[in-house]
Amino acid sequence: MAHKNILLIDEDTMLLARTQKLLESNNYDVTLARSAKEARIALERRVPDLILLSSQLPDSDAHNFLEQVKENAEWRFLPVIVFTNQDELEDERLKGLRLGVMDYLRKPFKDEDLRIHIENILAFYEVKIQTNKEILVPSQDRLLKYMTDHGIRVLIPGVRRAAKLGYEYPEAAQILRPEELGGEIYILESMAKAGMLERVFHDTIHMCPDCGHHDLNFREICPQCQAADIDAMRMLTCDHCGFRSLENKFHSENGMQCPHCLEFFQLKNLDYDISTSAMQVCNECKSQFTEPIVNCRCMNCNALFDMSSALVRKIYSYKFIQNTHENKSDTNPYLKLSFAQSDIESLIKSQKLHNTDNASFAQEAGKCISEAIKTQGDVTVLALHFNKTESVNDLNYDNFLELFEKITRSLREVLRRNDLITIVSTDELHVLLPETSFRMARIIANRLLNSLKRLEYDLELQLNMASYPDDGVTFEQLLDVLKIGVVSTHQFSG
């Protein structure tokens, strides 16, 4: 077996020499770099299995360097350990976690501590090797596989002001990671032309002629003075004297009154008539007109232009074409069924567990965190990921549902009434534990592990946990930690 390669980056030559000797004595190949520039050259020559990185480099700091590393798809998922000073640890921890830092090691560290940290992280990444391999899969195949695994049938555009055209396809952007926001549309178009996706009309949008953005503010303005302060008024006719004028002329302190004959109006169609059409009145120049000019302001580049100058463009949703990807895949039958996730939802509900969709789950988590901020309490989110072993992969659809029914029974035994579940995919659940500290969440997780030991299948369960306030102060930050912060991996043999 080839030795694991470690990229060691530090300007301290004594630390480099000492650490290199330690690593090579443990059968690791070591590549040395003394700056961010040298490290990038080393990455270009050979992609390592792990990066050991000093928090401060002569030409950069660790986080700026990692931001550049994450821009390269081939390096994006590399695990990282940062050597840091003690006073840097708490302030920079969350930022580092979001950039892929698996752990921080304070200087000076013991050789044995470093060896154990490296072994644990590399062992964890053996479990995650499929994630790394996906980097090499063409982006189109990765997107189709993601849609298959998550039961997504249609990619629908959503507004995002920062995107080039003012909208994006969130699920596609998450997988394709285009260089510019909204750039995934070009890949989707190529997939539609190749017959991988079906393009379906979604809506028509108006775009700025200067920058192409569709975040426009439409305004009706006076054709005389260009002011936007205009009102639409109808014409009234007095049935007593026949006087006809705009409705504002008939308003008085005592009610509706004809300014000509001074009769007060009581009943519509008896004392006065109202026209069906309206007259526009400018409050600036007092001019009257039947049709205002429709003017646009682009909220992206601030350009002003007439509505007739706006570009009109059709936008589309992209529909998954059944069997286009599944026929090329060795995915199991139950993963090919579009209703698999809905059946799992039914199983969860049948056990009287509190279940909701991903968006509502995020909102509820945000509310719990807001309440915890007020009460100085705790909130924990638990992620359950089922790594299906070979025996589970051989299950047919009915047996798979039977397995998941047993899993939901275990959840019912352990979870409390206020705990909330959402289905992320057919092999991942998230559980919101309100008013629960990380320590208490560990107890709940251990109870769940003990309950799942009774399953009659080989199943590898990965438990990840993230808690407010220790791991983050927003739900998004907790999710970032969940993606990389493995708490326990346990395999149960039936």
DSSP 339-401: THHHHHHHHHHHTT--EE-HHHHHHHHHHHHHHHHHHT--EEEEEEEEEE-HHHHT--HHHHH
Q: What integer pLDDT is reported at residue 217 of this predicted model?
A: 83
Q: Are 351 and 412 in contact (CB under 8 A)?
A: yes
More confident call, 279 vs 394: 279
User: What average pLDDT does this structure show over 260-282?
Assistant: 76
Beta strands in 101-249 (DSSP E): 101-106, 154-155, 158-159, 167-168, 197-207, 216-221, 230-238, 244-246
Cβ-proximal residues to 78 (8 Å cutoff; 6+ apart), any chain = 47, 48, 49, 50, 51, 69, 100
List the domains of the chain with CATH numbers: 5-136 (3.40.50.2300), 139-210+312-328 (no CATH), 223-291 (no CATH), 333-492 (3.30.70.270)
User: What average pLDDT does this structure show over 261-276?
Assistant: 75
Q: How confident is the model at residue 68 (pLDDT cuts 50, 70, 90)?
A: confident
User: What average pLDDT does this structure show over 300-307?
Assistant: 83
Q: What integer pLDDT is reported at residue 398 of this predicted model?
A: 61
Whether residue 31 is predicted with pLDDT greater than 70 in this model: the reply is yes
Whether residue 90 is predicted with pLDDT greater than 60 in this model: the reply is no
Q: Are 34 and 20 in contact (CB under 8 A)?
A: no
pTM: 0.34
Q: How far apart (Å, rounded) are the C-alpha atoms in residues 324 and 263?
A: 76
Summarize pLDDT for 450-469 with one digit per residue, the tens: 777 666 555 666 778 888 88
Whether residue 221 is predicted with pLDDT greater than 70 in this model: the reply is yes
Q: How confident is the model at residue 84 (pLDDT cuts 50, 70, 90)?
A: confident
DSSP 190: H
Summarize pLDDT for 423-436 with one digit per residue, the tens: 877 667 889 999 88
